[in-house]
Structure 1
Amino acid sequence: MVDSIAEAARGADVPIVTGDTKVVNRGSADQLFVNTAGVGVVRHTGMLSTLNAQPGDKILLSGTVGDHGIAVMVARESLDMELDIQSDTAALHGLVAELLAAVPDVRCLKDPTRGGLATSLNEIAINSNVGMAITETAVPILNQVRGACELLGLDPLTIANEGKLIAVVPAEAANTALAVMQNHPLGKQSCVIGEVMAEPAGMVFLRTEIGGTRVLDMLVGDPLPRIC
C-alpha cells in the first residue's frame, strides 16, 4: 500500500512531506487509515462553479462510469463474480490543466463520486437553476460493469467514480474541449453526453435507448458504505 501511495504521488508530482497519527477506540485499529491534505497554487483565473451552467452548454464526460464502485463492491463483499474490473482512481490534474489551457471559459468541472453521474448532474442543474438532458447511449459503460449492475439491481449512472470528470462548456467550445480531453491518456474515452436546457429548471432527463425520456433522479441511499 505504501508503494502504491508513493507511485501515485510521483505520478501526480506531489511530494508527501509529513505524517500523522490517528486515535480510535480500542479494537478498532484493524485496518489502514490514510488522511491527506493538499497545499497548492491556483493558476486558473476563471471561475469554475456548479452555479455557472447556462442553456445551450454541452456536457462532457471523460470516460466510462461505474468502474470504481463496482470494483470496490465486488472486492469488499467477496462477491462470487468472475469480473476483471479495476478502480478508475487517477490524478486528473494534468487532464484538467490541458483542458483549461485550451478552453479557459469552461463553466464547471465536477467529479462524479458519491451518487455517480446522475447525482452530480442533478447537483449542477439545481445549483445553476437549469435543466439537463443526456443521451443514454452516449454514456460509456463497460459491459462487465453493466452486467454486474443488472445482477445486483443497481443503476450504473448512480455508482461512484474516482478517476472521471464532468465538464460543462459553451457549445462553441465543445469540439475543442473534446479533442483535448481525448488526446490525454486519462480522457481517451471522453464524449459529449448531453446539453443544458433552460427548462425545466433543476431537473435532469435521460433520453433512453428505446427512444423514450425519463427523469434521472439523484441517488437515494447508498449501495455501499462510504468509499470516497
Structure 2
Amino acid sequence: MPTEFQKRAGVFVGLVTCLLLPMWRSELYCYTVLCCFILGGTLEYWTAVYSRVSSLQDWAVYLILFMVWVLPTMAALHIYGGVIGHTRLVECLIIQLVVGDSAQLIVGRSIGRHHVCVKLSPKKTLEGYVGGFVLTFMYGALVHGWSPLNISVVYVFGCIGDLYFSGIKRRLGIKDYSRILSSHGGLLDRIDSFMFAANALVWKAFFFSPE
C-alpha cells in the first residue's frame, strides 16, 4: 500500500502536469480551474449540510459560515488578475498548498510531539506548524523570490483556513466533505487552506501593496 507521502507525491505530479503548468501559461485556464473548484466546493459544502442538518437555526449558522468564505473568495476571483496577476496566484498555490501543507505533514509526522488545536484538528502539532513554516519560507524566498511578509501572510492564513473548515467538519460530524478524490477527500478538502491564503494575498495587495 502506498504511504501518505507517496500519495501526496502522486497528487503533486498530477497537480503540476494537469493544473499548475496550464494555469501558469493561461490566465483563462487559471480562472476556469478556480471557478470549477469553488463551484464544486460549494456543492460539496451544501450537500454535507443538507444530509446532516434539520433545524432552521442550524441552517442559519451554516449559511453564515458559508458566507464568511464564499463572499470574499468570489470577490477576489473577479479582481485578482488586475491586483496580483494569475502567475502570482499560481505561485501562492504552490507555496501554500503544495509545499506548505506537505511540509507541515512531513515535519509533524516526523518529530511532532506537542498537539495544538486538538478539538479542531487533532493531528496538528506545534512542531509541524513551525517546521512547515521554516521550509515554506525557504522555498518561497529562494525559488519564487517572495517577500518575508507575503510568505508569512499566505502561510498563517492558510493554517487558519484549514482549521476553519476542520471546525465545520467537526460540527457536521464528517471526515471529508466528499470522496470525489478518493483518500484525499473532496475538492473543498483540497482548497480550504488555499482559499484563505489566496484571499489574504489578494486583499492585502488591494488595500495596501503587492509586496
Shorter-chain TM-score category?
under 0.3
- Structure of larger gyration radius: 1
More helix by share: 2
TM-score by length of 2: 0.27
Using CA pairs below 8 Å that are at least 6 residues apart, which structure has the higher relative contact order?
1
More strand by share: 1
